[in-house]
Amino acid sequence: MVGPSRPQFVLFGSSITQFSFANGGWGAILADVYARKADILLRGYLSWNSRRAVQVLDQVFPKDAAVQPSLVIVYFGGNDSMGPHPSGLGPHVPLPEYVDNMRKIATHIQSLSDKTRLIFLTCPPVNETKVRESQSKFLSELVRTNELCKVYAQACIKLCQEIGIKVVDLFTAIQKRDDWMNVCFTDGIHLSAEGSKVVVEEIMKVLKEAEWKPSLFWKSLPTEFAEDSPYDLIAADGTKTLNGSDWIIHRDIMWD
């Protein structure tokens, strides 16, 4: 642990989470937006489903940890929603069990501390044609359809409404773009930079509108070591320095 301590935001999920720091991913965007404000911690696991997530909850989120996260963003469901394999192997999880597993995840994370906030992300849609074209010769056929994704996404939303936690409907949000099938994925499943922008936009809406105290929206959090200094960059008139602690001139999107 390095100091000073900052709020910790944990991204917990399957490959869409594990890959979120690659290629302009949504985790990397969040890390930039929250630079000097919060630490974005990645706990993403390729090919995992909600069943495996439940098995490691105590290891990933120990209740006796000295510091508990301020925010946990959870994504499971895409792999759960895959069609079952005749062997019984693979990531498919029946819908009732998926809902029960997500409830267990929510209950555990909410028990960590009174200040730990939670956001669930639903399944995004998929580009079914691209999924088939990208099929690896080393894998059995992937049964990934938007019909299945929609069912699991709706179940996730319903659960969140029942237990009162925030949810981002990625299945709907991504499809608001007319060109979503062509620009939002790298392989029909995993998110491109454009797809990740949609994720961040929706997460920011939740963080800005949530009536959490303290607010976790990036503009509401203090910037670390933001005091004026004679070592800052010198102004054009040569008489003073300019504090650039909160400059965001490098960003293409302001995320307001």
Average pLDDT over residues 194-211: 98
CA 82 to chain centroid: 20
* 26/196 Cα distance (integer angstroms): 5
Asked whether 242 and 235 are in contact (CB, 8 A), the reply is yes
Q: Which residues are catalytic?
A: 14, 187, 190
Task: Assess whether pLDDT exceeds 80 at residue 19.
Answer: yes
Average pLDDT over residues 163-173: 98
Asked whether 46 and 18 are in contact (CB, 8 A), the reply is yes
| pLDDT score for 44 | 98
Q: How confident is the model at residue 1 (pLDDT cuts 50, 70, 90)?
A: low
Q: What is the DSSP letter of 179?
A: T
| pLDDT score for 163 | 97
Average pLDDT over residues 29-47: 98
Average pLDDT over residues 130-151: 87
Domain residue spans of the chain:
8-226
| pLDDT score for 158 | 98
Task: Assess whether pLDDT exceeds 70 at residue 153.
Answer: yes
Asked whether 118 and 112 are in contact (CB, 8 A), the reply is no
| pLDDT score for 139 | 77
Average pLDDT over residues 90-96: 96
DSSP per position, 193-212: HHHHHHHHHHHHHHHHH---
Task: Assess whether pLDDT exceeds 70 at residue 10.
Answer: yes
Average pLDDT, the chain: 96
Residue 106: CB atoms within 10 Å: 19
* 239/117 Cα distance (integer angstroms): 45
* 256/174 Cα distance (integer angstroms): 19
Beta strands in the chain (DSSP E): 8-13, 39-44, 71-75, 117-121, 166-168, 233-234, 241-242
Beta strands in 76-165 (DSSP E): 117-121
Q: Which two tokens stand for residue 29?
A: 């965007």
165: Cβ–Cβ under 8 A, 6 or more apart, which residues?
Answer: 106, 110, 118, 119, 120
Task: Assess whether pLDDT exceeds 70 at residue 224.
Answer: yes
Q: How confident is the model at residue 68 (pLDDT cuts 50, 70, 90)?
A: very high
| pLDDT score for 254 | 95
Q: Comparing 3 with 170, which gets the higher pLDDT?
A: 170
Give the predicted TM-score (pTM) of the model: 0.96
Q: How confident is the model at residue 141 (pLDDT cuts 50, 70, 90)?
A: confident
Write down the CATH number for the domain with range 8-226. 3.40.50.1110
